[in-house]
Amino acid sequence: MADHPVDEKLPALKMATTGLQHVAAMYAGVVAPPLIVGAAIGLTATDLTFLTGACLFTAGLATLLQTLGIWKIGARLPFVNGVTFAGVAPMTAIVASTEDKSDALPIIFGAVIVAGLLGFLAAPVFCKAVRFFPPVVTGTVITLIGISLLPVAFGWAQGPDPAAHDYGSATNLGLAAGTLVIVLLLRRFTRGFVKQIAVLLGLVAGTLLAIPFGATDFGPVADAAVIGFPTPFHFGAPQFQLAAILSLCVVMVVSMTESTADMLALGEIVDRPADEKTIAAGLRADTLGSAISPLFNGFMCSAFAQNIGLVAMTKIRSRYVVAAGGGFLVLMGLCPMAASLIAVVPRPVLGGAGVVLFGSVAASGIQTLVRAGLDKDNNVLIVAVSLAVGIIPITAPEFYHAFPETARIVLDSGISTGCVAAVLLNLVFNHLGRRDRDAHDVTHPMEAGEEITGVPRTPTAP
């Protein structure tokens, strides 16, 4: 019997180029947290480069653990892991509350280790939540993942620094639009392998296009060292403070919720639905990767939803392709010069490609919702309210400003809040008291006398 496409091993060249495409899609997301946290601490340029390389290295290890797996660890899906952005706010809060900034990273690392180990132990229980994720819930969450990521692409399209004079300039937006057009043209007019690596080719072409405009900086390549290893505990032995641990345990719960949703989404896309066993194994890889990461000076790891969009668009479902990307991340962590090559890609160029990638995730969610039975008004209400709740942090970022900082870690994640809303609403409308309700298709929630399709009912005789 032929291998499932997820287990297919592609030719070496195709494996390498498509793996590199995954790295290009997620690079900015991996390096942003260490840059933000490092800047808050006031690290030197040398230490900041070291911290960034360490996060690339640990992201590679976590990705290899997730895709290849050992024992009951790893979802064995084309699943990319990297530094979760959900931890940035609490980590910067830890930095702000630490008098001696040299203790900030050891305190963060200690909290990540504890949160990772607790998450690893909780994975077998947490995975049972899969029963609460029917298509109406998974479709809503997948759609939210795509919608939540699109503002990231729009931010990239405007430039790397909101304080810069050229942020949102016609040049930056033009480069983003040009990259988007190149990717679309490659997808429309090419075939086979070239079509599958359209995003990577678009990034290369966009980078070359940016050179005459002075938007491509080759300085990082010239300044980068050829070899560098993330020495264990470079910033000091981990310290364990209760407040920091509790803060990052909350982040771990958010991360596990998002990873569960991402695994369900990816399972739908690659036609290998994620069951409890797969989710438990994936969560073990997430949490173990997070617990190991601080040993090499890295942060908490989680799934990267943008790469799900790449899988959906290219139709390349092999987990070994993503494992190749994980291998590249490890090498980049060991070779700063290699890492700097990806850093050359201008942020607007990444933004143009991101529109395609993240939009593909949302489109996959809509496809799942089509199969969810939206001819039932209960399901329409579930989708409508859950999407609205999930979009709040995107459209009104300060909506929860009056809530405690710990609560905002959860509330400011549209994916998490939308996911919780969809699960609860599905339980209320489709399960609780079901025997006492009419199981037939009912009317549109907003129009009591009109069918969902918009076709009026035949009026009854007076």
Contact status, residue 445 vs residue 379, Cβ threshold 8 Å: no
99 domain-assigned: yes
462 domain-assigned: no
First to last CA, the chain: 64
Task: Tell me the pLDDT of the chain averaged across its residues.
Answer: 80
CA dihedral sign of residues 403, 404, 407, 408 = positive
Residue 398 pLDDT level (bands cut at 50, 70, 90): confident
> In this predicted model, what pLDDT tens digit does every residue of 423-449 receive, in sequence order?
899 889 887 765 555 444 443 444 433
449 domain-assigned: no
DSSP lists the bridge partners of residue 83 as 301
In whole angstroms, how large is the CA radius of gyration of the chain?
A: 23
pLDDT of residue 159: 87
Count CB neighbours of 380 within 10 A: 20
Asked if the model's pLDDT at residue 334 lies above 50, the reply is: yes
Separation CA 330–CA 60 (nearest Å): 5
Share of the chain above pLDDT 90, in %: 17
117 domain-assigned: yes
446 domain-assigned: no
> In this predicted model, what pLDDT tens digit does every residue of 357-390 receive, in sequence order?
778 778 877 877 887 777 777 889 999 999 999 8
Distances (CA, A) of 213 to 24, 170, 172, 202: 22, 11, 9, 17
pLDDT mean over 143-172: 84
Domain that holds residue 191: 5-432
358 domain-assigned: yes
208 domain-assigned: yes
448 domain-assigned: no
Higher pLDDT, 458 or 14: 14
Please report, to the nearest 10 degrees, the dihedral formed by the alpha carbons of residues 351, 355, 360, 362 taken in order: 110
Residue 287 pLDDT level (bands cut at 50, 70, 90): very high
Asked if the model's pLDDT at residue 161 lies above 70, the reply is: yes
The total number of structural domains that make up the chain:
1
Which of 41, 22, 31, 94 lies closest to 298 in space, CA to CA?
A: 31
